[in-house]
């Protein structure tokens, strides 16, 4: 059947995050975040890369927004750096920080680009990490609410779309299970405890949103990697069910249904690793449900059974060398295996556009909420060629197939508000430095003096045409 066109109001967007683009890490009164500290510890990131300068978006904001306008973007998703607003996490806001985001928002609006504002994209104020352990203390719930309300009050009249927590699942998995994000802990009990507190903070922020931004929409962005079973063997099906509950529904059910999935909660209780649930906690979650779900989709994961004594959690691929990601899992429940039907990126991420259609359908059907793709894209080594050309045809193919999957999902009945490609310019990849590029706009870091010159890639002109036409071109 002929696919229906994309809706007129579809938000054709692109995205970024403060730490990955802004730089200016200690400028205009900004306090340090946990990433400013962590990336300076030797061995934590690829070749010691950090976001001190990143792509210097803080100082080149006007130029970047002009490029967005030239491209025809209808939406731009960015995050606010908490320690830019509250250098030590709370107290009186730093006016220079608020003013920067106000200039950005005004520049977007002046060009008809809808701002999509992310409240938290991992850059916890270092002061709060030091004072009480960040997400490990319930004290963060008040501090996060205060920070959010400060932004609501300032920007309620200008910003309609808001993202509460970005990829809580991926960030805290790295922070408290794999030990690869700050504070680099490997402890499953602390992991689930921190997540529970983050759910409470998310719900409280959404409750406050209702008062301050009555006409806005808010939801978390979730890194959704839908689970597949490795085969139709019942043991693989069970492993897949276990993985979907413990790696996905744990977060999504807490956000959207105000409860935890049954078998996963029971298993954690048996391990003595379930979070402490105080009276009132679940009622708060139920009161803080989102208006939509932000979906960050990159790949699917395929699971097989994992007898006790089998493979535990493993580290991730930070080399950009194919086939170097070890299997990871929980003994007794599941472990990942490569999917023989799918190609992968150089970081071993399965390229699976059908998986995106499946993802959107599963979420829309289970939670009955509108969805927004808040991230989707391909991180690769790009080559700056003769005459400033970047032939990223592999990225065009990736984005095209995934946008097609979005269209099919809408045909299936999914309400999809928009699609923010990751990312607009090249960015700092948290652990992979500047070698892993995602942008429509190449940023030259190698040129003499580190010019950080912006260069339009082939994908820039492709997306420009798609947005102009309002549909995918052959
Ligand atoms: C990377 C990651 C990030 C994430 C994003 C999550 O390579 O560092 O892919 O860019 O996608 O920050 O929200």
Q: 3 C-alpha vs ligand 1 centroid, how far in Å?
A: 31
Element (H, E) at 317: none
* pLDDT at residue 122, as a whole number: 98
Give phi and psi for 382, each to the nearest 5.
-105, 150
* pLDDT at residue 458, as a whole number: 98
* pLDDT at residue 446, as a whole number: 78
The distance of Cα 257 from the centroid of its chain, to the nearest Å, equals: 21
Q: What residue owns the CA closest to ligand 1's atom 1?
A: 429
* pLDDT at residue 310, as a whole number: 83
Triad 408, 413, 414: Cα angle to 5°? 80
Three-state SS sequence of 354-388: HHHHHHHHHHHHHHCCCEEEEECCCCECCCCEHHH
Task: Look at residues 185, 224, 170 and name the one whose alpha carbon lies nearest to residue 371.
Answer: 224
Structure tokens, 113: 């680009």
Q: 147 C-alpha vs ligand 1 centroid, how far in Å?
A: 23
* pLDDT at residue 1, as a whole number: 62
Does ligand 1 come within 6 angstroms of the Cβ of 97?
A: no
Residue for token digits 């700056």? 384
Does ligand 1 come within 6 angstroms of the Cβ of 56?
A: no
The distance of Cα 288 from the centroid of its chain, to the nearest Å, equals: 20
Which atom of ligand 1 is least distant from the CA of 379? Answer: 7
* pLDDT at residue 449, as a whole number: 65
Q: What residue owns the CA closest to ligand 1's atom 4?
A: 429
Q: What residue owns the CA closest to ligand 1's atom 6?
A: 167
185 neighbors 179 (Cβ within 8 angstroms)? yes
Q: 403 C-alpha vs ligand 1 centroid, how far in Å?
A: 19
Residues of the chain short of pLDDT 50, as ranges, are none
Q: What residue owns the CA closest to ligand 1's atom 7?
A: 429
The DSSP code sequence of 262-321 is HHHHHHHHHHT-PPP--TTHHHHHHHS--SSEEEE----EEEE---TTS--------S--
Which residues are the active-site residues?
167, 375
State how far the Cα of 394 lies from the Cα of 223, in Å rounded to an integer: 22
Within 189-305, strands assigned E span: 217-223, 227-229, 293-296, 301-304
What pTM, to 2 d.p., does this model score?
Answer: 0.97
Does ligand 1 come within 6 angstroms of the Cβ of 123?
A: no
Among 22, 38, 422, which residue has the most ligand 1 atoms within 8 Å of its CB, making it the best to mutate?
A: 422
Which residues are within 8 A (CB) of 256 and not within 5 positions of it... i.e. 6 or more apart? 289, 290, 293, 366, 367, 369
Nearest-10 Cα torsion for 9, 12, 18, 24: -110
What does the buried/exposed string (b/e) look like for 397-410 if buried means 16 or more CB atoms within 10 Å of the residue's CB?
A: ebbbebbbbbbbbb
ipTM at complex level: 0.93
Does ligand 1 come within 6 angstroms of the Cβ of 432?
A: yes
Q: 429 C-alpha vs ligand 1 centroid, how far in Å?
A: 6
- Count of helices and strands (H, E) across the chain: 16, 14
* pLDDT at residue 448, as a whole number: 65
Q: What residue owns the CA closest to ligand 1's atom 3?
A: 429
* pLDDT at residue 344, as a whole number: 95
223 neighbors 181 (Cβ within 8 angstroms)? no
């Amino acid at each position: 059947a002929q696919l229906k066109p994309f809706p007129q109001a579809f938000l054709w967007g692109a995205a970024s995050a403060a730490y990955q683009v802004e730089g200016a890490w200690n400028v205009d009164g900004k306090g340090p975040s946990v990433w400013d500290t962590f990336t300076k510890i030797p061995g934590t990131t690829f070749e010691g890369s950090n976001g001190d300068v990143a792509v210097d978006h803080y100082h080149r904001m006007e130029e970047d927004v002009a490029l967005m306008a030239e491209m025809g973007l209808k939406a731009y998703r960015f995050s606010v750096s908490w320690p830019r607003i509250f250098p030590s996490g709370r107290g009186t806001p730093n006016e220079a920080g608020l003013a920067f985001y106000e200039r950005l928002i005004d520049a977007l609006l002046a060009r008809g680009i809808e701002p999509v504002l992310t409240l938290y994209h991992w850059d916890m104020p270092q002061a709060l990490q030091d004072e009480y352990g960040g997400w490990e203390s319930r004290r963060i719930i008040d501090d996060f609410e205060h920070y959010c309300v400060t932004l609501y009050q300032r920007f309620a009249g200008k910003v309609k779309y808001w993202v509460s927590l970005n990829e809580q699942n991926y960030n805290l998995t790295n922070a408290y299970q794999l030990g690869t994000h700050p504070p680099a802990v490997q402890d499953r009990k602390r992991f689930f405890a921190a997540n529970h507190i983050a759910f409470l903070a998310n719900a409280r922020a959404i409750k406050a949103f209702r008062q301050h931004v009555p006409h806005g929409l808010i939801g978390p962005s979730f890194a959704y990697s839908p689970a597949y079973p490795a085969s139709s063997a019942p043991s693989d099906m069970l492993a897949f069910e276990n993985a979907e509950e413990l790696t996905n529904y744990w977060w999504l059910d807490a956000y959207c249904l105000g409860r935890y999935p049954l078998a996963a909660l029971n298993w954690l209780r048996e391990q003595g690793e379930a979070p402490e649930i105080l009276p009132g906690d679940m009622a708060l979650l139920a009161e803080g449900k989102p208006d939509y779900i932000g979906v960050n989709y990159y790949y699917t994961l395929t699971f097989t059974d994992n007898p006790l004594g089998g493979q535990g959690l493993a580290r991730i691929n930070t080399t950009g060398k194919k086939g170097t990601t070890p299997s990871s899992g929980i003994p007794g429940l599941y472990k990942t295996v490569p999917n023989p039907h799918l190609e992968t990126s150089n970081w071993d991420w399965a390229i699976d556009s059908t998986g995106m259609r499946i993802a959107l359908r599963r979420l829309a059907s289970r939670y009955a909420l509108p969805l927004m793709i808040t991230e989707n894209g391909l991180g690769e080594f790009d080559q700056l060629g003769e005459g400033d050309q970047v032939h990223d045809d592999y990225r065009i193919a990736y984005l095209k197939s995934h946008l097609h999957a979005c269209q099919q999902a809408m045909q299936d009945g999914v309400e999809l508000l928009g699609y923010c490609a990751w990312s607009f310019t090249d960015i700092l990849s948290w652990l992979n430095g500047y070698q892993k590029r995602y942008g429509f706009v190449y940023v030259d870091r190698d040129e003499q003096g580190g010019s950080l010159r912006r260069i339009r890639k082939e994908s820039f002109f492709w997306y420009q045409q798609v947005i102009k036409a309002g549909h995918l071109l052959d």
